[in-house]
Amino acid sequence: MTELNATIIGAGIVGMSAAAFLQRSGYKVTVIDRLPPGEGCSFGNAGGLAFAEITPTIHPRVLMKIPGWLMNPLGPLTIRWSYLPKALPWFLAAGRNAMPDRVKAITEARAALALRVVSDFETLLKSAGAADLIKYQDTLRLYDNEQQYQAEAGERETKKSFGFEMKRISGDEARELEPALGPNIHCGVFHGGWYFVTNPGRAVKSIAADVVKNGGAILADDVVSIGREGNKVTHLVLKEHGRRAVDKLVVCAGAYSHLLAKQLGEKILLEAERGYHMMLPNSGVSLSRSLTYARTPGAATPMEMGLRLAGTDEFAGLDAAPNYARADALWTIFKAVLPGLNAPDEATTRWMGRRPGTPDSLPVIGPSRTTANVWYGFGHGHMGLTWGPTTGRLIAEAMTGAKSNIDLSPFRADRF
Ligand SMILES: Cc1cc2nc3c(=O)[nH]c(=O)nc-3n(C[C@H](O)[C@H](O)[C@H](O)COP(=O)(O)OP(=O)(O)OC[C@H]3O[C@@H](n4cnc5c(N)ncnc54)[C@H](O)[C@@H]3O)c2cc1C
């Protein structure tokens, strides 16, 4: 029997999940990344398995808020103005995708991806001996007042129509559950399906170790270019290891994926939606679940390293220097919710990561349209930790021709 070989570019949650599921389908896998596993965007996210988040990131209610957000350089969304001309095609496409008919179709596609998020994650973490990283506590969304709560009625209705139950509790009930919450909280709502992972970087590293234990290889290198003959990829050119032959290629390179797809003649609208976190080992606050706050996007998640405040969206391209004042702004926001939150100290760390964002809040999953032996798994934006394992399974199913539970057409690469 001929050996099946797959090379995967990217050792984030998506690439490592693809490697793990391809192994289960009989492939010998090699994962190439210039960073160690789980040290790209997958390292520092908020840890949310946010499968109930089926409404696209940009939808009519958010669209109305964007002008106000843009007025504040430390607000939830910012654009470095010198970068705007480059990002304009992405923003125009995002605007088109916020129209009601598109929002409906995108919501349906996101709901389909949600179906096996938890079981796919469990499959990988159980095999890696790290199942304890998932905490099965639904995230609590907090509101300052009734108006804020009512403003989200439409999104709650949508979620309900897909079977996600969103239970409302009073401010006092919220404080009963989470005594660290302040007196300003008017009410709370459970997200209806948003568990959390207590160390996303360790989750990816555990999956990577399991892939290696099962015979896979991880190669530390930079993919400089992709070599093609006709409509097939034949080799990669690596910075350190030079030319390396390829049988089947899977591109899971996060926010850098469009640069590789471009070499294959495919135009993908992908922007680095740069987010920040502040990690507080000495937060002074104890939480049993992750919190989100309706006043501004972002999450506070209790992790094994301390309390992580994560969020914000900055459009400045891949290479601009981080602006850590955005991480500090997260502290100010959550101090309003958690009055006992300690000020940052010498143990506090700040981080910036590049979410691979498409303008329709859907990832690219499936075969390349230009090249016969290439598959894609990238563009997961705000949902990569959540959808990563399921994407890995779908890629393995697509590559082996196995029957799948999900129609991949909304995720095709030639939709941009
Ligand atoms: C602040 C913040 C909070 C977030 N919160 C959540 C959350 O709560 N829930 C959720 O589901 N998602 C969340 N996300 C999003 C999530 O982290 C990402 O969608 C996800 O990590 C993307 O995974 P990935 O594997 O595609 O990319 P990455 O983890 O970035 O992996 C891609 C890898 O490809 C490598 N690479 C790229 N190009 C090359 C090349 N040419 N050669 C070699 N290697 C290459 C990179 O080095 C990198 O390691 C959040 C993101 C941020 C920034």
Q: Closest ligand 1 atom to the C-alpha of 38?
A: 29
Look at strands 134-135 and 195-197 and give their pairing: antiparallel
The verdict on pTM exceeding 0.75 is yes
- Average pLDDT on 97-102 reads 93
Q: How far apart are CA 207 and CA 230, in angstroms?
A: 35
**Tens-digit pLDDT profile for residues 239-296:** 999 999 999 999 999 999 999 999 999 999 999 999 999 999 999 999 999 999 998 8
Which residue, judged by its Cα, is nearest atom 33 of ligand 1? Answer: 10
Distance of alpha carbon 395 from alpha carbon 366, whole angstroms: 6
Segment 303-357, tens digit of pLDDT? 999 999 999 999 999 999 999 999 999 999 999 999 999 999 999 999 999 999 9
Asked if 77 contacts 275 with a C-beta cutoff of 8 angstroms, the reply is no
**Nearest-atom index, ligand 1, CA of 377:** 26
Residue range 153-178: average pLDDT?
Answer: 95
Distance 12 CA to ligand 1 centre (A): 6
Q: What percent of the chain has pLDDT over 90?
A: 90
Per-residue confidence (pLDDT) for residue 1, from 0 to 100: 59
| pLDDT above 70 coverage of the chain, percent | 100
**Distance (Å, whole) CA 102 – CA 108:** 10
Residue whose CA is closest, atom 41 of ligand 1? 223
Q: How far apart are CA 263 and CA 88, in angstroms?
A: 22
User: Top-level CATH class of 4-415?
Assistant: alpha beta
What the block records as the tokens of 47 is 């840890």
Measured from the Cα of 385, ligand 1's closest atom is: 11
Question: Residue 73: pLDDT above 80?
Answer: no
Helix locations, 1-59, DSSP H:
13-24
DSSP 327-393: HHHHHHHHHTT-TTPPPP-TT-EEEEEEEEE-TTS--EEEE-SS-TTEEEEE--GGGHHHHHHHHHH
In the structure, what pLDDT confidence band is assigned to residue 63 with cuts at 50, 70 and 90? confident
pLDDT, average across residues 88-100: 93
Question: What's residue 229's pLDDT?
Answer: 95
Task: Tell me whether residue 132 is exposed, middle or buried, using C-beta atoms within 10 angstroms of its C-beta: 0 to 12, 13 to 18, 19 or more.
Answer: exposed
Testing ligand 1's pocket by substitution, the residue of 331, 380, 390, 411 carrying the most ligand atoms inside 8 A of its CB is: 380
* Locus of tokens 């680095």: 272
User: What integer pLDDT is reported at residue 379 of this predicted model?
Assistant: 98
Band the pLDDT of 231: cuts 50, 70, 90: very high
The residue nearest atom 48 of ligand 1, judged by CA position, is: 40
pLDDT digits (tens, 9 = 90+) for 181-199: 999 999 999 988 899 999 9
CB of 363 closer than 6 angstroms to any ligand 1 atom: no
Number of H helices, E strands in the chain: 12, 21
How does the average pLDDT of the chain come out, rounded? 95
310 close to ligand 1 (CB < 6 Angstrom):
yes
Question: Residue 416 corresponds to which tokens in the numbers above?
Answer: 């941009």
Q: From the CB of 142, is ligand 1 less than 6 Å away?
A: no
